[in-house]
Amino acid sequence: MQLRTCSSPGAVCLTGCCEAGGRSQALRAAFTQLMTAPQAEGAAAGAGLVARLQSQLDSAATPLAPRDELALRLDRQYPGGDVGVLASFFLNFVSRP
């Protein structure tokens, strides 16, 4: 949801509406759109994501996924709405045992 605030509608076509070869292009376009969005849009989207994750953490209804915990940790390390918090969702998340 937060990604849509800083991406054009055509760039966020990752849920099966594109052919297999088009998915990588759509992902690349969405990431480019995110990284080149105006700083205010990226900051607002990041703040919205962090608020949603923090609310979920505070309610303790469901535990956060490791990638969500990473986003909160990145926000603590780079406060002020760094777009890298959102960019982390584009990366392959790998954890060591």
Domain limits, the chain:
3-90
Render pLDDT for 57-74 as a digit per residue (tens, 0 to 9).
Answer: 888 777 889 999 999 999
12, 4 contact by CB (below 8 A): yes
Given a contact cutoff of 8 angstroms between Cβ atoms, the answer to whether 57 and 65 are in contact is: no
Asked if 87 and 34 count as a contact pair (C-beta separation under 8 A), the reply is: yes
0.95 surpassed by pTM? no
- Residue 68 pLDDT: 92
- Is the predicted pLDDT of residue 18 greater than 80, yes or no? no
What is the SS3 string spanning 32-67?
Answer: HHHHHCCHHHHHHHHHHHHHHHHHHHHHCCCCCCHH
2: tokens are: 């937060």
